[in-house]
Amino acid sequence: EVHLVESGGGLVQPGGSLRLSCAASGFTFSSYEMNWVRLAPGKGLEWISYINSDGRSTYYADSVKGRVTVSRDDAKNSMYLQMNDLRGDDTALYYCAREPPGYSSPLDCWGQGTLVTVSS
Amino acid sequence: DIQMTQSPSSLSASVGDRVTITCRASQTISTYLNWYQQKPGSAPKILIYGASTLQSGVPSRFSGSGSGTDFTLTISSLQPEDFATYSCQQSYSIPYTFGPGTKVQIK
């Protein structure tokens, strides 16, 4: 069975850092593109980051560009999101989501999310 | 960036009702439009991709249509387990963008 499990969230002060992890199982992780999507309180889903299957191509939403870095370790079947200079509007539930190979595929499998709260 | 809008933002309906939700893209996205369902405390779930292709395991009462800039999600006969928030997403180009969501509530 396909599983994605996020971890690493927590309470952090403004300006602080967190490293989120996404552990994958039940599929050939190295074949899939991966994404991070967040859901802030009272708002809709917001895509924030993409990494391709070989890790050489990454993209970010303008709202986080310059403050976050996505990476993956296929040997560990894991993806990471290093988040720096966190702000209050980064408070959200952060999901990792799988994107099957192929042009413009949907996000077909999601984890349960890890909560990031930015507050003093 | 491609902006996605949805209407209505919320609706109240009864079990058995036919429900239609619309999604509009700020520029043409062909049929690279996906629909997700999210219930409180749960992860989003893909319902429809490519504007009209039902994801495996999704009940046939869900259907999608449209191309270019205008899309619809239809639930032919609303069931108790369908009360949730529905979001569209364009996968035509990065940055991927989602609509603001439509909350379907019990009347």
- pLDDT category of residue B57 using cuts at 50, 70 and 90: very high
**Which chain B positions have a beta carbon within 8 Å of A104's beta carbon?**
32, 91-92
Cβ pair A99, A107 in contact under 8 A: yes
| Residue B86 to residue B35: CA distance in whole angstroms | 7
Q: What is the pLDDT of residue B107?
A: 87
| Residue B72 to residue A87: CA distance in whole angstroms | 36
Looking at the complex, does the CB of residue A101 fall below 8 Å from at least one CB of chain B? no
- pLDDT category of residue B106 using cuts at 50, 70 and 90: confident
| Residue B67 to residue B13: CA distance in whole angstroms | 27
Cβ pair A3, A78 in contact under 8 A: no
Q: What is the pLDDT of residue A104?
A: 77
- pLDDT category of residue B44 using cuts at 50, 70 and 90: very high
Q: Closest Cα partner for A60 from A96, A36, A41, A43?
A: A36
| Residue A88 to residue B95: CA distance in whole angstroms | 22
CB contacts under 8 A, A 59-78 vs B, are 59, 61-62
- pLDDT category of residue B89 using cuts at 50, 70 and 90: very high
- pLDDT category of residue A102 using cuts at 50, 70 and 90: confident
| Residue A94 to residue A34: CA distance in whole angstroms | 13
Q: What is the pLDDT of residue B92?
A: 95
Mean pLDDT across chain B: 97
Considering only CB atoms, A61 lies closest to which of B34, B55, B95, namely B95
